[in-house]
Amino acid sequence: MHPIERLRFVARAQDLPSATLAAEAASALVMFSDEPAALVSASRRVLSRQLSCGPLWWVCARLLAAGRVRDAAAEAISELESDTTIASSSLALDGLATERSAAGFNADDDSTEDVESDLDQRVHPGELGVELIDARVIGEGAAIVDGARWETFDRSARQRWLVGGVGHHLHENLWSSLVTHWSDSRAALDSCEVLVPIETFTHVVGPSGLVSVNELGEPDCPMAPELARLAG
């Protein structure tokens, strides 16, 4: 596929994983590696069509800030494809299930067969008092999530996990630009997407594992002042 057609595909795509969109965009944007102005223009245009795709903003910012665009694109694609967030989420849930099984184990029982059986079975997050929701993007003090999923999200759960993989946590200047443009978008006006305060959640799950929302670190994302304004 020609790079321009690939960018059009990214701009028009619906219901594809954000990491896939970002990787496709990175593969196409490298064609502008020797044309900085064209790279800025192409990045702005594709972002204006996929406003809430955190990893896409992350990719564009990395390429714009890079001294060697091709190397930055290859590194970004590699990170997106090797994202361990799903595994981190599963591992954290398994840890909670193990703790629950151990707490319920009767020390007077000579047999461990029942406990081992419990540990081998997948436990639904709700049974552990955990409610999860995927972030489209995470920024300073808030996140954007799917509106339909938010309507069914149990805000009374003991633990409320916000899941955001590679590229979902944006630098504050990118986040500010995103929210400015997103607030007037059809997705926001139709409530297809919802802006939610970060304190709604107790934990955040990312590539490095599960952390308390109060311990969410700085985003691994460069500044990109060129993206303060987007094409229409």
Residue with tokens 């489209």: 136
The answer to whether the CB of 135 falls within 8 A of the CB of 85 is no
pLDDT at position 177:
94
Lowest mean pLDDT of 18-22, 105-109, 144-148, 153-157, name the range: 105-109
What does the block give as tokens for 114?
A: 């029942």
More confident residue, 89 or 118: 89
135-160 burial string, b = 16+ CB within 10 Å, else e?
A: bbbbbeebbbbbeeebeebeeebebb
Q: How far apart are CA 226 and CA 174, in angstroms?
A: 10
- Residue pair 219/208 in contact (Cβ under 8 Å)? The answer is no
Q: How far apart are CA 73 and CA 28, in angstroms?
A: 9
Q: What angle do CA 27, 31, 34 make, to 5 degrees?
A: 135
Q: Two tokens at 146?
A: 């799917």
157-171 pLDDT, tens digit per residue, is 999 999 999 999 999
Q: Could you report how far apart the first and last alpha carbons of the chain are, in Å?
A: 25
pLDDT digits (tens, 9 = 90+) for 27-77: 999 999 999 999 999 999 999 999 999 999 999 999 999 999 999 999 999
Q: What's the mean per-residue pLDDT of the chain?
A: 89
Domains and CATH numbers, the chain: 3-83 (1.20.120.420), 85-226 (3.40.50)
DSSP 185: S
- Is the separation of the CB atoms in 63 and 73 below 8 Å? yes
- CA dist 7 and 28 (Å) reads 6
CA dist., res. 97 & res. 186, Å (int): 40
Cβ(90)–Cβ(54) below 8 Å? no
User: What is the chain's length?
Assistant: 232
